[in-house]
Amino acid sequence: MESRALVGVPTQTLQAIDDIPAGLPHSWVMSRRYFTALARAGIVPVMVPLLDDDEATLRALYDRVDGLFLAGGVDVEPARYGEARHALCGRTDPARDAVELLMTRWALAEGKPLLGVCRGIQLINVATGGALWQDCSLRPGSIKHDCFPTEGYARDFLAHDVAFAPGSRLRRAYAADSAPVNSMHHQGIRELGRGLRATATAPDGLTEGVEAEGEAFVVAVQWHPEALVDESEGTLALFRAFADACLDWRAVAGSGIRPASRSRRRA
């Protein structure tokens, strides 16, 4: 029986998302939906603690995983992309920013597989020198992207379609030129990072999918595929393609053979 890929999932500081009484110790959390979606695709997910002051421990953990998954969450601190905070920018999590940026840059430098969703696409964009809209309402011609459960929308509510770029991993995974997606974000990509290309676009032109140039598996989407994995074959195929890329990485890491050259990968 083939072994399963081990994937690191950085956590989020509980106090960054909830009103926690002062004096309580900080806790690190992450939604179970990400873990169940990854497990369904054959991945063993492990939580990454936000030890932003202990790079040696983070590196030891990073070296043991076959890939990284960047989940949704609070806003990236605008100072990370050289901007002052706008009044519409929400809560941030400095420790999470630090850990995810560090590990993402390691993965990008080494070609280790990387999959990001929602905040994850924004983090990858910032890690590569890109910038964000601090609120989509600041973008001329923006449609509604903030269809949040707190406003009565179901997490699997299909808010709009995205168009896939020909020849992209997303196009191959979904086996279609476009697909309906959910939309639970208020920020988005303003300036694309270096080495990235836009591979999914919303009807208003907002970039909702990016992939790295070259052979390494680096894919990120602005929607929340973990909420759609039970009803969308394309979504499940995307997670499985990530799992395959992670197994390829494990099989050939250190051999001098590029992981993308193997045939296991589905997208």
Q: Which residues are catalytic?
A: 118, 224, 226
Cα–Cα distance between 128 and 15 in angstroms, integer? 27
* 217-241 residues labelled b (16+ CB within 10 A) or e (exposed): bbbbbbbbbbbbbeebebbbbbbbb
Q: How many CA atoms lie within 13 A of 58 on its CB side?
A: 23
Residue with tokens 């196009």: 171
Residue 10's φ and ψ, nearest 5 degrees, are -60, 145
- The number of helix segments (H) and strand segments (E) in the chain equals 7, 13
